[in-house]
Copies of this chain bind each other. A is one copy, B any other.
């Protein structure tokens, strides 16, 4: 009898130990992610959802991430604040939306005349970009990672051709953010109009031109039905979204799940770049089929020179106020000087030879 009870004791200890082991392996971490995107903003919201699915598979179900689109929290541009405050553990947005709060976060989405998508991924992962991004976000107690790339954003839709810099003077254009500041220096009357009212404003001549994203997202807005001139990109050559994470929430995760989460970010980001490349190609083909008279134009040389000069001037002014910003701009510029030489003799020359 005594023997049996002591056996029972050993057995109990075994059961408890095994329960703990099973529990630790199975423990589910429920995280909340807030995004800037509306329900139908493909491929942006799709990428948020895809990331949550990847994290679930890779973690064997231990990471369960609830994805809130912007209709849930009603604050599409408040993602950084909400993640910082812990209202959300994770955010999916774009760094340059917060330039008003922290100018040092601006360069991690895309800079005018800056890096292309593969160049920028190489900068993030092999040129010191990711480290600089963490440094800039550290003051917010937030970690930040690449979150998907749109590729080149087009320069926008124009009702009339821009033949010289003169044609920009007094032109009413919807182009928000830093690119808008650059355009303003070129004499453009920059306005901002809510997305829902853009089509009507454009149709009724309230504005003469507007910038949205690229074919994949422009097509559903219908701007190609109004304007004939589609200008090529200069201001956002490779807009990278960001996944951001509240540092405390991150540190509460076991190391393995931290690793898995970062891998899910990285894969979801690459996947979006490729998905959107395909979507752009299909949308552009469809636009041309429906409206064969769309004309793709690049800005004339004098306009380019003015924009480049304005961009440099605004950048220098910002850098003068922040040593970190100066460091980031320098890092991007030096890296671009090196990597662009390769882009030119590889993909660029290849496409040129086969035009």
Contacts and interface: CB of A to CB of B under 8 A. Distances in A.
Query: Which of A8, A21, A342 has the most chain B CB atoms inside 10 A of its CB?
Result: A342
A353 interface: yes
A194 interface: no
A223 interface: no
Interface string A224-242: 0000000011100100000
Nearest to A7: B8
A345 to B, nearest CB: 5
A350 to B, nearest CB: 5
Interface in A35-68: 54, 57-58, 60
Contacts of A274: 118, 121-122, 125-126
Interface string A1-32: 10011011001001100110110011000000
Interface in A267-291: 267, 270-271, 273-275, 277-278, 280-282, 284-285, 288
Contacts of A58: 58, 260, 263
A340 interface: yes
B57 A278 contact: no
A320 interface: no
Contact of A127 (B278, B344, B352): B278
Contacts of A344: 351, 355
Interface string A291-314: 000001011000010000000000
Contacts of A22: 18, 21-22, 25
A346 B278 contact: no
A186 to B, nearest CB: 15
A127 B279 CA distance: 11
A307 to B, nearest CB: 10
Nearest to A299: B353
A245 to B, nearest CB: 18
A74 to B, nearest CB: 33
Contacts of A340: 351
Interface string A246-274: 00000000001001100100110011011
A256 B58 CA distance: 9
A26 to B, nearest CB: 8
Contacts of A26: 25
A205 interface: no
B256 A60 contact: yes
A151 B347 contact: yes
A354 interface: yes
Nearest to A286: B338
Contact of A152 (B54, B121, B350): B350
A11 B14 CA distance: 10
Given A15-B11, A54-B263, A118-B117, A234 B60 contact: no
6 contacts: A4-B4, A15-B15, A215-B342, A270-B270, A296-B345, A348-B348
Interface of A: 1, 4-5, 7-8, 11, 14-15, 18-19, 21-22, 25-26, 54, 57-58, 60, 113, 116-119, 121-122, 125-127, 151-152, 154, 214-215, 232-234, 237, 256, 259-260, 263, 266-267, 270-271, 273-275, 277-278, 280-282, 284-285, 288, 296, 298-299, 304, 338-355
